[in-house]
Amino acid sequence: MKRVTLEEVARVAGVSRATASRVVNGASSVDESLRHAVQRAISSTGYLPNIAARSLVTRRAHAIGLLLPDERRMVGDPHLASVVSGVTRVVRPLGIHLVLMMTGPGTREQALSDLRCGRLDGVILVHTDPADPVPGRLIAAGLPVVLAGRPLKPMPITYVDVNQTAGAALAGRRLKSLGCKRIATITGPQDTAAGQDRLAGFLAEVPDAVVVHGDFTRQSGTAATEKLLRCCPDVDGVFVASDLMATGVVPVLHRAGRQVPDDVAVVGFDDSSAALTSEPELTTVRQPISDMAAEMARQLLRQIEQPRSPATSVVFAPSLVVRDSG
């Protein structure tokens, strides 16, 4: 249980600490026989490099942060596990730690100082409040940061997103191809980029759609549907801007005596687990969350490697998942 240091390894291998270090870090300019001696010494002693000591001199923490919104917004979010998994896939083989931070009082400041004092090499920001000053301060300080989702107001920051507009258009085309005549949409909050884009994309495809506003919550889906049935009782197709919201929509339709999809076709957005537990299972627009998360990690690593490299954005294509609801 006693700690093995590089010094120890070097002694066992009969070389200097510097040479042992070269072998550990894979430098090429080491004689083959010495390299072998060091490798034998490493496995015989069970040597593990001390990351703290390494970080101290390389000024790399070998850790990135994932900044999440508060629990309330995260619980029931279907994507968390996929995001973590996607990032992990990229980051783990490199020995980089993924540090989770959930927003609470002062969390974002904490992240900022972790970044400044070299405890974190970069951060991925999820669900950023448009009024949040932290992303701006991060890019101003030239610190590596990637946003999940397009920022509401344009800023020179790297982000990864799905083509929300195209996804909503996919939904619109689906409803039209089902022969729906009276089409409506229940929107997301219009102070988010996703909410705006999904509405715009849908209207581009179905210009005469009835628009009722929601805010991505289940409750708002229920309320919006009641309103919709009052103002537009002959509706026969509805695009709901999130699956979670759609789980509030379908029961209201059923209670009003409308069969889904026979009387009213419903298309959701997200392909979340809610789409599968809903009855009937939801036709929905899928975002490749895990791949997007992996790309965020890659973008972040690039920025860490090459500080102050220009901001880029990567936009993934959505796809339609046809199930039973529309």
Partner DNA sequence: TGGAGGCGAGAGAGCGCTCTCTGGAGACAG
Partner DNA sequence: CTGTCTCCAGAGAGCGCTCTCTCGCCTCCA
On whether the CB atoms of residues 231 and 247 are closer than 8 A, the answer is no
Nearer to DNA among residue 5 and residue 110 (C-beta):
5
- In whole angstroms, the minimum distance from the beta carbon of 74 to a copy of itself comes to 4
- In whole angstroms, the minimum distance from the beta carbon of 107 to a copy of itself comes to 7
Q: Work out what residue 24 binds among a copy of itself, DNA, none; the CB cut-off runs from 5 to 8 Å by kind.
A: DNA
- In whole angstroms, the minimum distance from the beta carbon of 73 to a copy of itself comes to 9
- In whole angstroms, the minimum distance from the beta carbon of 17 to a copy of itself comes to 16
Q: Work out what residue 7 binds among DNA, a copy of itself, none; the CB cut-off runs from 5 to 8 Å by kind.
A: DNA
Angle value at C-alpha 214, between 257 and 77, nearest 5 degrees: 100
Q: How far apart are CA 4 and CA 306, in angstroms?
A: 33
Chain positions contacting DNA, by CB under 7 A: 3, 5-7, 14-19, 21-22, 24-25, 29-31, 34, 47, 49-50, 53-54, 56-58
- In whole angstroms, the minimum distance from the beta carbon of 143 to DNA comes to 17
Nearer to DNA among residue 58 and residue 259 (C-beta):
58
Nearer to a copy of itself among residue 61 and residue 267 (C-beta):
61
- Helical spans, DSSP H, in 164-272: 164-177, 193-205, 218-231, 243-255
Q: Work out what residue 292 binds among a copy of itself, DNA, none; the CB cut-off runs from 5 to 8 Å by kind.
A: none
Q: Work out what residue 217 binds among a copy of itself, DNA, none; the CB cut-off runs from 5 to 8 Å by kind.
A: none
On whether the CB atoms of residues 312 and 253 are closer than 8 A, the answer is no
- In whole angstroms, the minimum distance from the beta carbon of 97 to a copy of itself comes to 5
Q: Work out what residue 131 binds among DNA, a copy of itself, none; the CB cut-off runs from 5 to 8 Å by kind.
A: none
Question: Helices then strands (H, E): number in the chain?
Answer: 14, 12
In the three-class reduction of DSSP (H, G, I as helix; E, B as strand; rest coil), residue 159 is classed as: strand
Q: Work out what residue 308 binds among a copy of itself, DNA, none; the CB cut-off runs from 5 to 8 Å by kind.
A: none
Distances (CA, A) of 130 to 83, 134, 269: 21, 10, 22
Distances (CA, A) of 294 to 15, 83, 94: 40, 8, 13
Q: What is the DSSP string of 254-314?
A: HHTT--TTTTSEEEEEE--HHHHHSSSPPEEEE--HHHHHHHHHHHHHHHHHSTTPPP-EE
Chain positions contacting a copy of itself, by CB under 8 A: 1, 3, 48-53, 55-56, 61, 63, 66, 68, 70-71, 74-78, 80-82, 84-85, 88-89, 92, 95, 97-102, 104, 107, 110, 113-114, 116-119, 141-142, 218, 244, 247, 250-251, 254, 273-274, 276-279, 290
Kindly state the helix (H) or strand (E) to which residue 22 belongs, with its residue range. helix 17-24
Kindly state the helix (H) or strand (E) to which residue 63 belongs, with its residue range. strand 63-68
User: Which residue type sits at 4?
Assistant: V
Tokens encoding 161: 């997103």
Q: Work out what residue 15 binds among DNA, a copy of itself, none; the CB cut-off runs from 5 to 8 Å by kind.
A: DNA
- In whole angstroms, the minimum distance from the beta carbon of 25 to DNA comes to 5
